[in-house]
């Protein structure tokens, strides 16, 4: 019913509906951003600035692993650096930007739900059943990507970029803006990259992607994954490998998803073809019988026409032959003629 109502809406009415969805999404982001703006100590000290400190969970675990394996190189961020600002309004502007990013990340499930509510009335019942759970899985993958970017990529990026030196005579003094941009870009990029299985799912449903296609271009995808990991991480081989591995796992999950979708579509096609084939077979068997029946009807109608065109049969009188009856009639007629003649 909703699909029919939406189908009868004009273009301006569609824009009006979309405007309200956008307004509600923006309102959710702004409200959560205001909450993050108020609790700036938690947002900055406990979240944004935490990856560069030694107590950060990833830094502690890598140091413990380095002690066990005897690899001191993987013990990162043990000498935290100090950030600086070079403009008077930089800290305030960074406060606003970080609050907006925090509001967007937290409100992402609701924003995607609003977007989905705008699209779903235009879908058929079968498409709605197919896309059931899209909001949940999309939000789940985005959150997993954000956590991966924050706990894995961010400390590695901070350790490499914060401690990298081209010369001992050059003093490294990172600014708050550059640090915030690094953390936010890495986190958001990881959240978007983790949407790969969802993208493969919908492309497979449309028919643009097949498991054979994904297998054929697996080597090409490996090059793309390595390039992408090099973009969203610092130029460190160790961090690139840590980022490339989950991306390769996501690609293989996409192949499995595409294969499952193809099997479901084949099963649905077979279920649809069975009654159609049975109906065609039934029609094929009924056609000769119908033709034979028509031929029999035509023959019977011809016989009836022939019978109707014949002269009707006159039944002779009982006990008298028809020929004798005719002779008797002739004699009677002759005597009558003789009586009627005048006497000479």
| Model confidence band, residue 27 (pLDDT cutoffs 50, 70, 90) | very high
Residue 22: predicted pLDDT? 92
Look over the chain and give the mean of its residue pLDDT values, rounded to a whole number. Answer: 79
Residue 273: predicted pLDDT? 67
Rounded mean pLDDT of 220-229? 84
**Distance of alpha carbon 204 from alpha carbon 261, whole angstroms:** 7
Residue 5: predicted pLDDT? 43
CB burial of 29-48 (b: ≥16 within 10 Å; e: otherwise) equals beebbeebbeeeeebbeeeb
pTM here?
0.71
For 116-176, the DSSP string reads HHHHGGGS-HHHHHHTTTHHHHHHHHHHHHHHHIIIIIHHHHHHHHHH--S-TTSPP--BH
Tokens 């986190």, residue? 187
| Model confidence band, residue 332 (pLDDT cutoffs 50, 70, 90) | low
> pLDDT tens, 190-201?
898 888 888 888
SS3 344: coil
> pLDDT tens, 262-318?
888 788 777 776 666 666 666 556 556 656 666 666 776 766 666 555 545 555 544
* Closest of 199, 192, 195 to residue 261, by C-alpha: 199
DSSP annotation of 52 = G
Q: In this structure, are residues 51 and 133 in contact, taking their beta carbons and an 8 Å threshold?
A: no
Q: Among residues of the chain, what percentage have pLDDT more than 70? A: 72
**Distance of alpha carbon 265 from alpha carbon 211, whole angstroms:** 13
SS3 8: helix
| Model confidence band, residue 6 (pLDDT cutoffs 50, 70, 90) | very low
> pLDDT tens, 93-124?
999 999 999 999 999 999 999 988 888 877 77
């Amino acid at each position: 019913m909703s699909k029919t109502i939406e189908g009868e809406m004009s273009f301006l009415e569609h824009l009006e509906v979309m405007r309200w969805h956008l307004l509600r999404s923006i309102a959710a982001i702004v409200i959560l951003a205001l909450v993050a703006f108020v609790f700036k100590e938690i947002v900055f000290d406990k979240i944004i600035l935490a990856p560069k400190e030694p107590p950060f969970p990833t830094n502690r675990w890598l140091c413990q692993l380095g002690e066990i394996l005897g690899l001191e190189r993987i013990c990162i961020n043990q000498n935290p650096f100090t950030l600086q600002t070079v403009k008077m309004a930089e800290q305030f502007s960074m406060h606003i930007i970080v609050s907006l990013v925090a509001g967007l990340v937290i409100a992402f499930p609701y924003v995607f739900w609003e977007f989905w509510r705008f699209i779903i009335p235009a879908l058929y019942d079968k498409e709605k059943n197919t896309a059931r759970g899209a909001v949940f899985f999309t939000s789940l993958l985005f959150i997993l990507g954000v956590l991966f970017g924050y706990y894995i990529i961010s400390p590695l990026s901070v350790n490499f970029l914060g401690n990298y030196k081209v010369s001992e005579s050059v003093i490294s003094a990172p600014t708050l803006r550059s640090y915030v941009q690094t953390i936010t870009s890495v986190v958001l990029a990881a959240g978007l990259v983790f949407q790969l299985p969802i993208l493969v799912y919908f492309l497979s449903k449309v028919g643009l992607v097949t498991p054979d296609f994904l297998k054929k271009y697996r080597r090409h995808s490996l090059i793309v994954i390595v390039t992408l990991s090099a973009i969203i991480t610092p130029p460190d081989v160790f961090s690139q490998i840590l980022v490339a591995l989950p991306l390769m796992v996501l690609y293989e999950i996409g192949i499995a998803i595409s294969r499952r979708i193809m099997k479901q579509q084949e099963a649905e096609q077979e279920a649809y073809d069975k009654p159609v084939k049975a109906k065609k077979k039934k029609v094929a068997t009924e056609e000769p019988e119908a033709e034979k029946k028509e031929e029999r009807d035509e023959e019977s109608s011809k016989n009836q026409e022939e019978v109707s065109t014949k002269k009707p049969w006159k039944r002779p009188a009982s006990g008298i032959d028809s020929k004798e009856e005719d002779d008797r009639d002739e004699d009677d007629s002759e005597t009558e003629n003789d009586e009627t003649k005048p006497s000479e």
